[in-house]
Structure 1
Amino acid sequence: MNRFLKSIGVFLLILFSITAVSAETLTSKLKGGDKLRLGFGTAVPWAYAGDNGQALGFVNMIALTVLEEMGITEDQTETKVFEWSGLIPGLNANRSDMVTGGMYILKSRCANMNFSDPIGVFGDAMMVPKGNPQGINNYADVIRTGAKLVTGAGFNTVEAAKKYGVPESQMMLVEGEVGILAAMKAGRADVAVQTFFGAKEHEAKSNGMFEVTDPKLMPKETLNVVGIGFRKSDVEFRDNFNAALAKVMANPAKMLERAGEYGYDKAQLPPPSMSTEWACSTK
């Protein structure tokens, strides 16, 4: 009996220790000297890692500018690169502390992590073979032509394509931006759908093979806002981030200079009407 009670005591001690560690907030970890881990996939020009692992891309530049406003310097951060579909699971498994990959704020994502206030407003576009021989500019055209549509697993475009009636038999899901371009180059897909920025990056890399359609020909509802993601337990840090973000957005010159190197400009500044609460309830 004594041995049994001792075993129970050891088990409860371990359980208490695990619970205490998991309950530790991001704010307290940083105060203890831990580095802030930025989680993102490889999605040029949104977010990607440099040769030395440094955070590059306009979403990372915006995040780093806001963190500096909070008193957190770049050398107090480190990067964690994931496949796109692993960003939210990685955050919730404590393998990163912030998702800076450039995620659209969607109801399904809001259920699994908290978003900052929007950092920008963006649209999607189709990438097609040069000359657009099938005349594909939107989801209705994909259905009409029977074309094979490729997009990234976990991308907002998966939900959007299904919403606008694209059958699963016409859809191909791959891992991230790299997989999209590979599928198009190999001829396994007829058309790709992704963010306008991502499509333009692929167009530039295709040596004239592909072109990007006019995003205004996509459904108006595909316009989305992007936020930085945080664990549900890190409300205090998210709120402090939002306070710093408001200061940066009120005087965005420094942020626009840094993010502008990657194509972000004042046209992407989010309007007040497109809030995180609005996106979480309607998107």
Structure 2
Amino acid sequence: MNFIQTTIKKSLGFILGATMAATTAQAGPLEDRVEAGEPIRLGFAAAPPWAYAGDDGAAKGFVNDITIDVLKRMGHTDVEPVLTDWAGLIPSLNASRVDIVTGGMYVLAARCANMDFSEPIGVFGDAFVVPAGNPKGVSTYQDIIDQDLIMVSPSGYNTIADAKAAGVPTGNIMEVPGTTEMLAAIRAGRADAGATNALEAQRVADMSDAVEMTDPLAFPPESRTPVAVGFHTDDDAFREAFNAALAEYLGSDEMMAKVAQENYIPAFLPDGQTTAEACKAN
């Protein structure tokens, strides 16, 4: 082999190697983990019925059920549950401590700026949890403002930003780690109403005769927001494959039979809403 042939061979080898490296880089960290035989780490907070850990530590809740079933359809069955605080979900994803984020994650512009979402797995609204009998007649954020009441909501929930946007002063908003603490604040009289999504509000109301849920329809229609599954911004290819499998699974008899036990009903299915539109609108 002469000098020219040797030079060409080395150049081709360099180009091929660079191309392969670029292809690997484009695959994304999640696909790299799957290729290496490592489990897909599913990050979620304790937020029943959306997501929570079972007695055996398994990922439960309808968002986890949907996500795990879609992953199975993609051929991925090695899933590792990672339970964390709600406020730590997106930081954990961006720090690569988890690979996918589930739970009742509303598609909001602020979140879209920090991670990517799948297409919606459902569309949901909000409600208040109030003392039984609703003695102060709370049904909207304006009631909180007019009566100078204290509202409580889990940290990181969309209801905090919504309340502020509606004009509720920051000093009238109490943030707590989760819905258990929200219920405790209402029962102890430290808060007059708790704001959360309607599914969680109903679950909290069912936990105690001392509280009840207000009418979700009292909230403005725009409070109904798509919920989706979160992915790292480098995992476009995996997310697109997930979306393709999700489109076939969403609303199927298999899905509805499984999620019915967590109070997910057909009315929650997306009706043409898209993640791209939600990221711009919310």
TM-score where L is the length of structure 1: 0.89
Q: For residues 33 and 203 of structure 1, what CA distance do their matches in structure 2 show?
A: 43
Q: Aligned with 2:55: secondary structure?
A: coil
1:83-142 per-residue CA deviation (whole Å, 9 max, x = no partner) reads 110000011111111001120000000000000000001000011111111110010111
Matched, 1:61 2:69: no
Q: Deviations over 1:28-53 (max 9, x none)?
A: 21121010111000011110001111
Equivalent residue pairs, number: 259
In structure 2, relative to structure 1, the CA distance for the partners of 1:24 and 1:115 (3 Å cut) is closer
1:38 is aligned to: 42
**Which protein has the larger Cα radius of gyration, Structure 1 or Structure 2?**
2
RMSD over equivalenced CA pairs, Å: 1.5
- Name the structure 2 match of 1:218: 219
2:101 is aligned, of 99, 102, 105, to 99
Corresponding residue for 1:27? 31
- Per-residue CA deviation, residues 44-100 of structure 1 (Å, 9 max, x unaligned), is 111000111101011111111111111112xx1011111110000011111111001
User: How many angstroms apart in 2 are the aligned matches of 1:161 and 1:65?
Assistant: 35
Q: Report the Cα distance in structure 2 between the residues aligned to 1:113 and 1:178, rounded to whole angstroms.
A: 27
Looking at structure 2, the residues matched to 205 and 59 of structure 1 have their Cα atoms a distance apart, in angstroms, of 21
Q: Please list the CA deviations of residues 217-273 of structure 1 after superposition, one character each: whole Å capped at 9, or x if unmatched.
A: 011211100000000011111001001001112x6111111111100011110011x
Q: Please give the per-residue CA displacement for 1:193-212, whole angstroms capped at 9, x wherever unaligned.
A: 00111111111111x10010
**Identical columns (%):** 45
- Quick one: distance in 2 between partners of 1:153 and 1:45? 18
Q: Which residue of 2 aligns with 1:70?
A: 74
Letter in 1 for 2:270: P
**In the alignment, is the contact (CA less than 8 A) between 2:126 and 2:216 conserved in 1?**
yes
1:263 aligns with: 263
The CA deviation at 1:24 is 5.3
Question: Where has structure 1 moved over 2 Å in runs of 4 or more?
Answer: none
Where in structure 2 are the equivalents of 1:114-133 lying within 5 Å?
Answer: 114-133=116-135
Give 5+ residue unaligned stretches, structure 2: 1-23
Structure 2 equivalent of residue 16 of structure 1: none
1:165 to 153, 164, 167: 167
2:280 corresponds to which residue?
281
In 2: Cα distance, 1:188 partner to 1:171 partner: 11
1:224 alignment partner AA: T
Q: Which residue of 2 aligns with 1:11?
A: none
Is the aligned partner of 1:227 residue 2:231?
Answer: no
Partner residue of 1:144 out of 126, 146, 164: 146
Report the counterpart of residue 9 of structure 2 in structure 1: none
The aligned amino acid for 1:269 is: L
Deviation at 1:155, TM superposition (A): 0.5
Contact 2:28 2:237 in 1 (8 A): no
Please tell me whether the aligned partners of residues 44 and 89 of structure 2 are also in contact (alpha carbons under 8 angstroms): yes
TM-score w.r.t. the length of structure 2 is: 0.89
AA at the equivalent of 1:230 = F
1:281 counterpart letter in structure 2: K
**Residue 53 of structure 1 aligns to which amino acid in structure 2?**
G
Cα displacement (A) at 1:169: 1.4
Distance in 2 between residues matched to 1:68 and 1:266, nearest whole Å: 22
Q: Secondary structure at the match of 1:261?
A: helix
